[in-house]
Chains A and B, each alone.
Chain A
C-alpha cells in the first residue's frame, strides 16, 4: 500500500497543511505572575475560578478556553466538526465534562503532558484526510487536582525536591481548519514509548528527556531537516534537569542544538522569583506556550518555523506504587507561518 503522506519511520507530512485559525488560553493566578502573563487571554483571580472544587475549577477553565478560541474565530460550536481533548485527571474527566457542555462530537485523548501535540497531530490528520472542516483541540491541568491525584493533599506540609517541577494551572484550546489564515501544521512525528528505567515520579523531566531526544532525532532523520531549519525547537515540560539531559542525549547523536532550543517548562515562570524549582509541568505547560505565546508570535510575524515537541509521562499512581518504571512519550509537530 502506498502511503504518500508518511515519510521515513514515524513522520507524517500534510498535503494540505491545516491552519490554526484561533486560540484561547486561560492561566491560573500564579502563572499570571510569570513572564508570559501578557500572552494569555485570561488570567484567573483565584484557583477556584468561582467553583466549589478544584476539579470543577479545571473544567470551567477548559470551557472558557474553548469558548475563547471559538469567539476569536467568530464561530459557534455547531460549526465545529470534532472536539479532541485530554487532561491529567483519571478518566480525563475535565475534557469529557467540557465536551458535554460544548456539545461538539468528541474524541477523548490521553498523552499526559504531550496531549497538546497528540491533539494537533490527530486533528491535522483528520483535516488533511478530508474528514472534517474544523476541529477544536484542547487540554488543561490544575496544580491542586494534579497534586492530589499524583502526590499529596494541597495543604500537606512536605518539602519539595530541588528537581521537582510545578504543575501549571491553565487551559488552552485551538481551532484548526482545513482553510483559513494563520500558522499551519505541516508535519508531525509520532513518538514511541520510551522506558529508560526512571522510577522517581518527582523527577519526570529526567524520565521524559530520552523520549524527547528520540522524537527530535527521528524528525530530523525522517524529513532531512536540521536544527538550523527552525526558528525554535521547543520541548514540552522537561524542566531544567530534563532539558539539560535532552541536549546531552542529542549531542551524543551528533545533533547539536543551539540558542533556538528551549523548553516550555522553563518559560512559564520566573524561576528567580517564583519558587518552582526545576520549572513547570502539566498538560497546560505546552498548551499555554503553544496557543498563547507561539500563536501570537506567528501572528506578529516573529516566527516562521517551529518544532513543538510535547512530552508526557505515562505512569499512574498505581503503576508507580507497584514499582513499575515511568514510560514516556514525545510527539513533535512542525508549525510554519
Chain B
C-alpha cells in the first residue's frame, strides 16, 4: 500500500499532534514487563520441575505438560475476565510468553461465539493468533532450509 504523501498543511498539523500526544511511559512499562515476564517464567520453571519430579520425566519432556498448564492458566484467566486487567500492567511480560497466545485465541473464541461454532469460533479463533502461526511456520521453514544447506548444519 503506497503511503500517500502529506501536503504541507497536513505535515504541519502532524507536527502539532506529536506535540500534544503523550508518550507511553516506556521505563515503567519495561519494568513491569520484566517483573511480570519473570514471574511467568518462574511459574513455568516450577511447573517443569514439578512434572519432572512427579512424572519422572527428563526436563525436555517435562516442559510439555508445563507449557500445556501455562496455556490452561492463560485461557482460564481470560475466560474469568482477569487476563486483560493483569495485562494492563504486565504488558509484554504476559503477552510474549505462551499465556499471551492463549489469551489471543480464547478472547477471539469468546468474542465470536455468538456468530456460531463454524463461522464464528472456528473461523475467527485465529483472527489475532493467525499471523503468529503463519510467520512462525515461515520462519521455521527458512531456518530449517538454511540449517540443511549450510555446511556444518
Binding site for B on A (CB under 8 A): 52-53, 55, 148, 152-163, 195-198, 203, 206, 210, 241, 244-245, 248, 322-325
Contact = CB atoms under 8 A, between A and B. Distances in A.
A241 B21 contact: yes
26 contacts: A152-B107, A152-B128, A153-B108, A153-B127, A155-B78, A155-B83, A155-B103, A156-B107, A156-B108, A157-B78, A157-B88, A157-B100, A158-B84, A158-B95, A159-B29, A162-B25, A163-B21, A195-B10, A196-B9, A196-B13, A196-B14, A203-B17, A210-B13, A241-B22, A323-B3, A323-B4
**Smallest CB-CB A-B distances: 3 pairs:** A157-B87, A197-B10, A153-B111
A197 B2 CA distance: 14
B132 to A, nearest CB: 13
Contacts, number: 97
A157 B16 contact: no
Given A153-B128, A157-B88, A159-B91, A197 B107 contact: no
Which of B9, B17, B23, B79 is packed against the most chain A CB atoms within 10 Å? B17
Given A197-B13, A198-B14, A155 B84 contact: yes
B106 interface: yes
Contacts of B135: none
B86 interface: yes
Nearest to B79: A155
B45 to A, nearest CB: 22
Dominant secondary structure at the B interface: helix
B87 A158 contact: yes
B84 A157 contact: yes
B24 interface: yes
B48 interface: no
A245 B88 contact: no
